[in-house]
Amino acid sequence: MTIYILWLRQLKRYARSRTRIIGSLGQPLLFLVALGFGFGPVYAQAGGGNYMQFLAPGVIAMSILFTAVFSGMEIIWDRQFGFLKETLVAPVSRFTIMLGRTLGGATVAVIQGLIVLTLTILIGFRPENWAMLPVAILVMFLISLLFTAMGTAIASKLEDFQGFQLIMNFLVMPLFFLSGALFPLDNVPMALTIISRLDPLSYGVDALRAMLLGTHHFSLMTDFAVLGVVTAFFLALGSYLFSKIQV
């Protein structure tokens, strides 16, 4: 029951923030229009095909990444304004509280991903196999759960928003740009190949492309195995760090 209440609270918070919903669509739209149409002719001349088709899954993953990390880091906001203390005094375990918040944040990120997916379809993206859409939503949820738990783990160690920009510049942005969301991972330099293999978002983007387009760089077994293991790791780490929060 506690998990459900916390999950529902996250959804209500998201639904009330219309400005946040609209504002969060600005960056995906910019990438789709500026890169999708701007680099499309160059990508086609290089023999890559339709760049919008290639780019769309990466932009969907980007919107999920940012929404999920921000949802996890709302702990800092709650701590600043005293909401977190009210939650922690409830007669339930901190693991339950963390899990409820994480599931709520992940659900919000999936909703955001579905909105961006709809936006990409309106712009011109066409999935190759609509029957795989439910599996693609499952991939979205795994990505959301992973990065919401990561955001929770990070926020549990931050006292205020002073370290937020540092997290953005040195963690979230590199995770996105080095994931292969904007460029193919075939025939890239060895250093970039190694980095992309260490980036968990690479496997989420690859799995989304496999579900929506039928093409992938890694094997599907590898994609789901890495996403599952890393998600479990950050859930465990986030639970541990959240249990150590002092308010």
pLDDT digits (tens, 9 = 90+) for 173-183: 899 999 989 88
Residue spans of the chain under pLDDT 70 = 1-23, 81-92, 164-165, 246-247
CA distance 199 to 172: 11
pLDDT of residue 65: 92
**In the chain, domain spans:** 2-243
Query: Hey, what are 20's tokens?
Result: 């946040």
pLDDT of residue 36: 81
pLDDT of residue 34: 84
CA distance 32 to 135: 23
- Name the residue among 113, 100, 93 with its Cα closest to residue 72: 100
Give the DSSP letter string of 132-180: GHHHHHHHHHHHHHHHHHHHHHHHTT-SSGGGHHHHIIIIIHHHHHTTT
Cβ atoms of residues 127 and 212 within 8 Å = yes
pLDDT of residue 7: 56
pLDDT of residue 222: 94
Cα dist from 206 to 59, 102, 209, 221, whole Å: 12, 23, 5, 11
pLDDT of residue 146: 94
